[in-house]
Chain A
């Protein structure tokens, strides 16, 4: 088994990159000095290394006794647990005074919670949803969705989870059945998906921030805290190294737009998944660090990376699914067998295409850069003069590298309608897939808000 460095050694890598940038820049500037000496011009131009953007990707694995990292995936190496990245810009900056030496411990941390999370519900609301769910209010997660307010208890447990819903403008919360989920519960989860989609579409890293006590992370998630600390330390070391003066021939440099990210693969109970058999749910943790008024500050955000609301990759899924094979299967499952029904279904899909949501609900073993994923797709729109939703689940083969260049193929026969309120064909009661993903998403948010609290 190859020996991998521990995560504590990660920061030194980024210090050495910043150092190499300065040394390379100095070598270029020095090589051009002869042209300065012989120049007859007043202020001759010289070659300068102006700016660099560095994007690195690495992998983190937790062993029994330590957390390790590596830059290259190798056959037979550790099973990959977390994908991570660090990117930053090295850019000239004229410091008005010598820059302070940055320490990771001096960073003032803040978090960007999802705007629809209600961190402090009113006393009246607490009383109401506590009564509706039959549980103490402090164990309930509250979300303000577009269509109403959702209160959730124990979303991490499919068997014990409870939800209560208050439609916008209504007076009281009412508890909704999940086993089996009815149409109203299904619409709540569709509304949840749409709200999350809007949030992700706007960029989940932006928004009002609240102070974050990092010691809470250390207590609740020590492995995550170790990774987090290394990413902060990497920033501090790169920043300090870049700011070292290289003499008069080079400007001072500053690390800007520093962003670290870790794709957390979590089991339903919130612990880190070891492999695909754990049915991991992915959350993207991002840490942006910079200085403001001379003080180092971080902004930490968590969002679902597998939630596609727009873009070429999302369109690829929709196009793949709505090819002749996929469409026929869909119409068949909805028991639509006449021309009028086909036409109405196709019109609905076309109209709902721009706002359709695609999210991965299961990831199967990757083989040579090819993934076989199970994705849920939610269409919402107007049909027959009223709002309706259609949710399906299907398997796709995804291959290729960058998101825009990935090839997506639908796996014939894998489509399953998990909910339909369309007034065409048969109505489909919500299947467990829909509620399961919704509850997993809510459970992840509950873990996140637990850290914030």
Chain B
């Protein structure tokens, strides 16, 4: 398959159209589904269509002038749910002009090899993102319908095969050149590449590295360490009278974060009864322990503070449940 840059762009656009058709098919299936009761054989039809949209793809490819879609990618290729879609770009990037075009003078379009691979990869990625959005909608809609299988849709594999010419760059690397004129193509497109881009589970090491590198705040969850810090806070010397902890302070719901300075901790606590009561303190452990208020718990504040209170309470509830599970 030989493509010029404009054709590649066009192919990406058409891949998007391809997915639009797939979405419309799925939408049509959803509409049908509203009238379907559990056990209705049409459910099978719907699922079959999702997992094998060959008819729509074939029709679409026919309009492109390309060959029919080959067999579906084998099951087990990084498919997160039973429904899959396979798009073989090797078939679909054929750039048949809809209307006769004037003959090209034979100017080639040049890509670096890595740039070219990346472009094709991005096309697949964009297609997948469209599918992800639709999957999300589908999951939301299917939550209310217990007889519908929850599913997400993945493009499991992209296979490409193309011919091109080589052109040497100044830095001695090779560029891939695609000619669109017939004679140039036949005489100069003598190099060939086939490649697969697959949707595969992320490597465990990659996930671990990602988690390690991603910014986050760790709450102190060790019960013993927490008990020590809370006890210190309760008996600490207050910087001001208003620095004291609330009377009905519930230790298990206080968020504790170690600060970068040694023996210093951030304490965040929110009221569950009265809107707007949320406080923040800094505890410095030492002789004596010192508790300083950063934000007063009972300070009258704007309504916006309630949002922060809600966030703290959500975290606090989950933390309390977690700590309870450790004690159990």
Q: Do A and B come from one complex?
A: yes
Decide if A295 is an interface residue (CB 8 Å cutoff).
no
- Report whether A46 and B199 are in contact in the complex, using a CB–CB cutoff of 8 Å: yes
- Report whether A16 and B173 are in contact in the complex, using a CB–CB cutoff of 8 Å: yes
What 0/1 readout, one digit per residue, does chain B (113-151) give for beta carbons within 8 Å of chain A?
A: 111111001101100110010000000000000000000
Bound complex: CA of A19 vs CA of B112, how far in Å?
11
Q: Which residues of A contact B129 (CB under 8 A)?
A: 35
Decide if B196 is an interface residue (CB 8 Å cutoff).
yes
B19, chain A: closest CB distance, angstroms: 15
Q: Which residues of A contact B173 (CB under 8 A)?
A: 16, 20
Q: Which residues of B contact A249 (CB under 8 A)?
A: 202-203, 206
Q: Which of A16-68 contact B (CB under 8 A)?
A: 16-17, 19-21, 23-25, 27-28, 31-33, 35-37, 41, 43-57
By beta carbon, the residue of chain B nearest A52 is B195
Decide if A401 is an interface residue (CB 8 Å cutoff).
yes
Contact with A24, one of B116, B154, B196, B206 (Cβ below 8 angstroms)? B116
Bound complex: CA of A46 vs CA of B199, how far in Å?
5
Bound complex: CA of A340 vs CA of B37, how far in Å?
77
- Report whether A50 and B196 are in contact in the complex, using a CB–CB cutoff of 8 Å: yes
A169, chain B: closest CB distance, angstroms: 50
Q: Are A47 and B193 CB-contacts (below 8 A) given A16-B173, A24-B121, A71-B166?
A: no
Q: How large is the interface on B (under 10, 10 to 19, 20 to 34, 35 or more residues)?
A: 35 or more
- Report whether B202 and A20 are in contact in the complex, using a CB–CB cutoff of 8 Å: no
B12, chain A: closest CB distance, angstroms: 14
- Report whether A73 and B187 are in contact in the complex, using a CB–CB cutoff of 8 Å: yes
- Report whether A13 and B174 are in contact in the complex, using a CB–CB cutoff of 8 Å: yes
- Report whether B200 and A49 are in contact in the complex, using a CB–CB cutoff of 8 Å: no
- Report whether A37 and B210 are in contact in the complex, using a CB–CB cutoff of 8 Å: yes
Decide if B35 is an interface residue (CB 8 Å cutoff).
no
Bound complex: CA of A242 vs CA of B212, how far in Å?
27
Q: Which of A70-126 contact B (CB under 8 A)?
A: 71-73
- Report whether A45 and B168 are in contact in the complex, using a CB–CB cutoff of 8 Å: no
Decide if B201 is an interface residue (CB 8 Å cutoff).
yes
Bound complex: CA of A49 vs CA of B198, how far in Å?
6
- Report whether B206 and A54 are in contact in the complex, using a CB–CB cutoff of 8 Å: no
- Report whether B198 and A25 are in contact in the complex, using a CB–CB cutoff of 8 Å: no
- Report whether A20 and B112 are in contact in the complex, using a CB–CB cutoff of 8 Å: yes
Bound complex: CA of A227 vs CA of B199, how far in Å?
40
Contact with A72, one of B114, B122, B165, B196 (Cβ below 8 angstroms)? B165
B1, chain A: closest CB distance, angstroms: 14
A249, chain B: closest CB distance, angstroms: 5
By beta carbon, the residue of chain A nearest B80 is A45
- Report whether A52 and B193 are in contact in the complex, using a CB–CB cutoff of 8 Å: yes
Bound complex: CA of A32 vs CA of B203, how far in Å?
13
Q: Which residues of B contact A37 (CB under 8 A)?
A: 210, 214
A16, chain B: closest CB distance, angstroms: 5
Q: Which residues of B contact A41 (CB under 8 A)?
A: 80
Decide if A12 is an interface residue (CB 8 Å cutoff).
yes
- Report whether A56 and B191 are in contact in the complex, using a CB–CB cutoff of 8 Å: yes
Q: Which residues of B contact A28 (CB under 8 A)?
A: 117-118, 121-122, 125, 197
- Report whether A47 and B124 are in contact in the complex, using a CB–CB cutoff of 8 Å: yes
A274, chain B: closest CB distance, angstroms: 23
- Report whether B210 and A33 are in contact in the complex, using a CB–CB cutoff of 8 Å: yes
- Report whether B113 and A17 are in contact in the complex, using a CB–CB cutoff of 8 Å: yes
Q: Which residues of A contact B168 (CB under 8 A)?
A: 5
How many chain-A residues does the 8 Å CB contact rule pick out? 45
Decide if B186 is an interface residue (CB 8 Å cutoff).
yes
- Report whether A46 and B202 are in contact in the complex, using a CB–CB cutoff of 8 Å: yes
Decide if A248 is an interface residue (CB 8 Å cutoff).
yes
Please classify the interface of chain A as helix (H, G, I), strand (E, B), loop, or mixed, using the class held by over half of its residues: mixed
Max chain B Cβ within 10 angstroms of own Cβ: one of A20, A51, A73, A247: A20
What 0/1 readout, one digit per residue, does chain B (170-213) give for beta carbons within 8 Å of chain A?
A: 00111000000000001110111111111111111111111000
Decide if B72 is an interface residue (CB 8 Å cutoff).
no
- Report whether A248 and B209 are in contact in the complex, using a CB–CB cutoff of 8 Å: yes
- Report whether B165 and A49 are in contact in the complex, using a CB–CB cutoff of 8 Å: no
Bound complex: CA of A71 vs CA of B90, how far in Å?
24
Q: Which residues of B contact A48 (CB under 8 A)?
A: 197-200
Decide if B285 is an interface residue (CB 8 Å cutoff).
no
- Report whether B78 and A45 are in contact in the complex, using a CB–CB cutoff of 8 Å: yes
- Report whether B121 and A44 are in contact in the complex, using a CB–CB cutoff of 8 Å: no
- Report whether A21 and B197 are in contact in the complex, using a CB–CB cutoff of 8 Å: no
Bound complex: CA of A33 vs CA of B214, how far in Å?
11
- Report whether B193 and A36 are in contact in the complex, using a CB–CB cutoff of 8 Å: no
- Report whether A20 and B114 are in contact in the complex, using a CB–CB cutoff of 8 Å: yes
Q: Which residues of A contact B205 (CB under 8 A)?
A: 248
Q: Are A20 and B113 CB-contacts (below 8 A) given A27-B121, A36-B210, A251-B203?
A: yes
- Report whether A49 and B210 are in contact in the complex, using a CB–CB cutoff of 8 Å: no
Bound complex: CA of A34 vs CA of B293, how far in Å?
38
Q: Which residues of B contact A72 (CB under 8 A)?
A: 165-166, 188, 190
Decide if A385 is an interface residue (CB 8 Å cutoff).
no
- Report whether A43 and B166 are in contact in the complex, using a CB–CB cutoff of 8 Å: no
- Report whether B191 and A31 are in contact in the complex, using a CB–CB cutoff of 8 Å: no
By beta carbon, the residue of chain A nearest B196 is A50
By beta carbon, the residue of chain B nearest A87 is B192
- Report whether A23 and B114 are in contact in the complex, using a CB–CB cutoff of 8 Å: yes
Q: Which residues of B contact A401 (CB under 8 A)?
A: 186
Decide if A369 is an interface residue (CB 8 Å cutoff).
yes
A196, chain B: closest CB distance, angstroms: 29
Q: Which residues of A contact B202 (CB under 8 A)?
A: 36, 43-46, 249
Bound complex: CA of A369 vs CA of B184, how far in Å?
12
Q: Which residues of B contact A36 (CB under 8 A)?
A: 202, 206-207, 210
Bound complex: CA of A27 vs CA of B122, how far in Å?
9
What 0/1 readout, one digit per residue, does chain A (228-264) give for beta carbons within 8 Å of chain B?
A: 0000000000000000000111010000000000000
- Report whether A31 and B121 are in contact in the complex, using a CB–CB cutoff of 8 Å: yes
Bound complex: CA of A117 vs CA of B148, how far in Å?
70
Bound complex: CA of A72 vs CA of B165, how far in Å?
7
Bound complex: CA of A439 vs CA of B122, how far in Å?
58
- Report whether A50 and B80 are in contact in the complex, using a CB–CB cutoff of 8 Å: no
B204, chain A: closest CB distance, angstroms: 7
Chain A residues in contact with chain B, CB under 8 A?
Answer: 5, 9, 12-13, 16-17, 19-21, 23-25, 27-28, 31-33, 35-37, 41, 43-57, 71-73, 247-249, 251, 369, 401
Can you list 15 contacts pairing A with B, beta carbon distance less than 8 Å? Answer: A24-B116, A24-B121, A27-B118, A28-B122, A47-B124, A47-B128, A47-B199, A53-B195, A54-B191, A71-B190, A72-B165, A72-B166, A72-B188, A249-B202, A369-B187
Given contacts A36-B207, A52-B196, 18 further A-B contacts (CB under 8 A): A13-B174, A17-B174, A24-B117, A31-B125, A33-B210, A44-B80, A44-B202, A45-B154, A46-B199, A46-B201, A47-B125, A47-B199, A71-B190, A248-B206, A248-B208, A249-B203, A249-B206, A369-B187
Chain B residues in contact with chain A, CB under 8 A?
Answer: 78, 80, 112-118, 121-122, 124-125, 128-129, 132, 154, 165-166, 168, 172-174, 186-188, 190-210, 214
The 9 closest A-B pairs by CB, nearest first: A24-B117, A28-B121, A20-B113, A52-B195, A24-B114, A23-B114, A71-B166, A20-B114, A248-B206
